[in-house]
Structure 1
Amino acid sequence: MNTSKDKSISLFQDLIELMRKLRSKDGCPWDKEQSHASLKPHLVEETYEVIDAIDSGDPDKLKEELADLFFHIIFHCQIAKEKGEFDIDGVIALCLDKMTRRHPHVFGDATAATPEEVLHQWEQIKKQEKGYEERKFIVDGLPKHLPALQKAQKLQKKVAKVGFDWPDITGVMAKVDEELAEVKEAIRENKPENIAEEVGDLLFSIVNLSRFLNLDTENVLHKTIYKFVDRFKRVETELAAMGKDIEKCSLEEMDAVWNKVKINQKQEIGIQKPE
């Protein structure tokens, strides 16, 4: 009698064999040419498609995108196996060992009753692991290719753990005001290098404000971008219904429709009731 575990093992082995075949002499010309480096942009793209699927709330879409991402893991493992570096078995064994070691409150005698205690314990265990000794400073270990907003938030969390942080949100908001004032001053002085630096400082302080409000800056900005896209599409639709070409409209005409669409959007989500 086949069990669910047997089926999973069989499917997993079939996938590994499929990948081996694709990379073999009689396999796919494109797959055979790939390397760890050449697959990097595709891996990033697949990861973001998984995130999009999560945001969509569609389980079928999420399943499909996870399949694509999982295939990339198998792909990289096959390339490494061909080079005599490691294989999928080594990756799985490392994962099992690491996750067991980092959850002593589940698989050992340690205790951690809250998510905060788990995270603290996790960080302490990481410091004892191989490779961590290469980090000479607290701010080391930031992923080089992490998006800037995420990197800023991760950096701020690192230094906050050793007490380098504002005592409350009042100081954070004052810092945002201070950085905005410095941006305005740099603009008045008309010095491009200063302007760029001060805008960077302002963005960094905004990320800090988001962190204090328990918001993920990357997600917050993405939501605003999608809101803008949706609103501007509605502006284009409204203008077209009025027989107007948006490329020939004045700023005043577009702004009037923009404000109308904005009000309608708020009414749709119940923020503002029609009078």
Structure 2
Amino acid sequence: MTPTSLRAVMQALRNPVSGCPWDLEQDHQSLARFLREEAAEVLDALAAHVPGDPEKERHFCEELGDLWLQVAFHAQLAQERGAFDLRDVEAMVVEKLVRRHPHVFAGVEVENAADVLVNWAAIKRDEKAGRGQETRKRLLQGMAASLSPLDEAMEIGKRCAKVGFEWPDLEGVLDKVREEIGELQAETELDRVESEFGDVLFSLVQWARKKGVDPDRALRRQMDRFRGRFTKVEDFAEANGGWEAQDLGALEAAWQEAKKAPEGP
């Protein structure tokens, strides 16, 4: 009988007698790279997602399922050694969400999303204190090692903003971006150019944060647009004698034409 739940599928795949040889060889460490890859593919699908578009919705759903598979695989390994199972994973996150949303489940009053974040941080501190963990740490300590540089820059900005170390308005951040670009343009020595380039990127991320733009999603979508447009330039070159027959002017003209083409929903 074909299993109908992900939990049942994982148990069948890991059956020591009739399971899949590849799945039986895996452990938490060997699966780590697949978890990273599937999370990245979900982000790619999200960057290209168009609500209501059937194909985009299907692709997003599929990638979420692939990520869910990784969670289920790790939970199955834990179940086999008697640590926890997929139900425990769900129960733990449900309990945590209920505890951290007293304004929804316990009658606590909040006025806005900022109040929610304040409560959330206080509850997390109480949780750590209850487990006997050190509650005082440097503001920028304790970030997940798996964060991409863009996400870590966003998190740094968010943490600093919570304690008031923040630009008063969006124009102030843009002024900082302009200042850093000016300093980048003034440098010639490679190490200093790299340093100033990092300052420009960091400032741009903070502008995006304050503007409400996800820089990771923005960059993913831009790269997707670039690939689509460059494909048209490549088609142009192949139809006109190949890359070696083109000069920069011809390629730039083809690029401008590619930019005018509709990009789909």
Q: TM class, shorter-chain normalised?
A: 0.7 to 0.9
* Native 8 Å contact 1:246 1:254 kept in 2: no
* 1:56 corresponds to 2:10: no
* 1:110 corresponds to 2:108: yes
* Native 8 Å contact 1:207 1:217 kept in 2: yes
Query: For structure 1, which runs of at least 5 residues remain unmatched after alignment?
Result: 1-9, 270-275
* 1:163 corresponds to 2:164: yes
* Native 8 Å contact 1:239 1:245 kept in 2: yes
Write the distance in 1 (CA, Å) between the matches of 2:171 and 2:59: 42
Query: Aligned residues: percent identity?
Result: 38
Write the distance in 2 (CA, Å) between the matches of 1:144 and 1:246: 42
Write the distance in 2 (CA, Å) between the matches of 1:129 and 1:17: 34
Write the distance in 2 (CA, Å) between the matches of 1:247 and 1:125: 63
What displacement does 1:163 show?
0.4
* 1:207 corresponds to 2:205: yes
- Alignment counterpart, residue 20 of structure 1, candidates 11, 14, 18: 11
- Alignment counterpart, residue 243 of structure 2, candidates 246, 249, 254: 246
* 1:147 corresponds to 2:148: yes
After TM superposition, the structure 1 = structure 2 runs for residues 70-219 of structure 1, keeping only pairs within 5 Å, are: 70-130=68-128, 133=134, 136-187=137-188, 190=189, 192-219=190-217
Q: Tell me: higher relative CO, structure 1 or 2? Use CA pairs within 8 A at least 6 residues apart.
A: 2
Cα deviation digits, residues 179-236 of structure 1 (max 9, x gap) = 222222332xx3x222222211111111112122221111111222122111111222
1:44 aligns to what SS in structure 2?
Answer: helix
Change in CA separation of 1:206 and 1:119 when aligned onto 2, cut-off 3 Å: same
Per the alignment, residue 39 of structure 2 pairs with 47
Change in CA separation of 1:62 and 1:222 when aligned onto 2, cut-off 3 Å: closer
- Alignment counterpart, residue 35 of structure 1, candidates 11, 27, 35: 27
What displacement does 1:256 show?
2.2
Q: Which amino acid aligns with 1:209?
A: W
Query: For structure 2, which runs of at least 5 residues remain unmatched after alignment?
Result: 51-55
Q: For the aligned residues, what is the CA RMSD?
A: 2.3
Per the alignment, residue 255 of structure 1 pairs with 252
TM-score (norm 2): 0.85
Cα deviation digits, residues 140-169 of structure 1 (max 9, x gap) = 222111111111011101111100111223
Write the distance in 2 (CA, Å) between the matches of 1:90 and 1:71: 16
Per the alignment, residue 226 of structure 2 pairs with 228
1:18 aligns to what SS in structure 2?
Answer: helix
Change in CA separation of 1:256 and 1:92 when aligned onto 2, cut-off 3 Å: closer
Cα deviation digits, residues 211-269 of structure 1 (max 9, x gap) = 2222111111122212211111122223344x23124311122112222333x24xx48
TM-score (norm 1): 0.82
Q: Which amino acid aligns with 1:19?
A: M
